[in-house]
Amino acid sequence: MPIHPLAVVDPQAEIHPDAIVGPFCHVRGPVRLAAGVELVSHVSILGRTSIGAGTRIFPGAVVGSDPQDLKFKGEDSEVRIGERCRLHECVTVSKGTATGGMLTSIGNDVLVMAYAHVAHDCHVADSVVIANNAQLAGHCSIGRKAIIGGMVGMHHFVTVGELAIISGMAGVRFDVPPYVMAEGNPAEPRNINIIGLRRDGWNEADIGDMREAFRDLYHDRGATPLREAVAEVRDRFEAKSPTSPVLRLCEWIENHLDNAVKGRMAEANRTAVVGGKANTGVTRPVICTGCGKEFQAQVRPDAHLAACTHCGRQQTVQPQA
C-alpha cells in the first residue's frame, strides 16, 4: 500500500502513485514526493520540501523543519532533496532562511548516515557521504563526492571542495580545499585523497602531479607565502599541461586567498546582523573600529549595534534617520 493507513498526510502534499509512505509518517504542507520515494516509518516531511525519485528516508528523520536560527521569522523557505539519496535514522535537515537564499539543498546519490544534521541554507552536491553524527552548521557548502567523517563538527559558512575527505571527530572551522584529506581540530590538509581520486577515475599521472603540488604547497614551502607558492606551482604545471587538474586546485586556493573572511569564503557574502535582529532594513556602510575595514550593515530604526563581517567586532551604529 503506497500510503499506510497509519500515516498522516496533508491534502496539500503531491505524492507520486509509486511513492511509499510507511506507518506513523507525518507529511505536512505542500510536500512533493517523486516516483519511488520511500518513507520507511516514523518520518516527518514538512513544509515546502521536495524529495527526488528513488530516495529512501529511514525512521526518525525530520526533513523541512524550522531552522535553529534566532533570525528565522517564519519565512516560507524550502528544502530540496535529489534523486536516489539515503537519509538514515534520525537525520535532520532544516529549511532555508531569508538571509541565506531561502533554500537548503542536497544533490543526487547522497548518503547521510544516522543522527547527522544538515542545517539551514546548506548546499550538498552530488554523491557526498555524511557519516554518523556529523553536524553541519548553517550556510555550509559541500562539493561533489566529498566525504564528511563521523562526529565532525562544521562551523557555519564553511566550504568543502570536491573529492575532499574529512576525518572523524574533526573540528572544521575553515574552508577545506578540494582533493585533500583533512583532520584535526581545527581541521587542516594532511595529504591528497588518493583513494577518492582513483574512485573518481583519475589516472596515476594526474594523481602523482597532485601529490607533488600538495607537497610544494603544504609540506615543503617553508617560509614562502602560500600565494607565491601557488603562483609557482600553477606556472610549472600549466607549462606541463594546460588541462592539469593541479590548476583547479591552484584556482581554488587563489580564490580563497582573495575572498575568505576569517578563513571562510562564504563569510564574504554574509549580511551583518544588527542589534541581534533579523537582517532586514536599510543597508549602510560602516567602518569597523577594530580592523578598519568597511562593511555593509543593515540597520533597523531601533538598532544600535552591528557586527563587522570581517573580524566580528560589534560597532555602535546610529539609527537610520
- Catalytic residues, by residue number, are 120-121, 138
Q: Mind spelling out the 3-state secondary structure of the chain?
A: CCECCCCEECCCCEECCCCEECCCCEEECCCEECCCCEECCCCEEECEEEECCCCEECCCCEEEECCCCCCCCCCCCEEEECCCCEECCCCEEECCCHHHCCEEEECCCCEECCCCEECCCCEECCCCEECCCCEECCCCEECCCCEECCCCEECCCCEECCCCEECCCCEECCCECCCEEEEECCEEEEEECHHHHHHCCCCHHHHHHHHHHHHHHHHCCCCCCHHHHHHHHHHHHHHHCCCCCHHHHHHHHHHHHHHCECCEHHHHHCCECECCECCCCEEEEEECCCCCCEEEEEECCCCCEEECCCCCCEEECCCCC
AA identity, residue 273: V
Euclidean distance between CA atoms 18 and 24, whole angstroms: 19
Sign of CA dihedral 75, 80, 125, 165: positive
Task: Considering only CA atoms, give the Rg of the chain.
Answer: 22
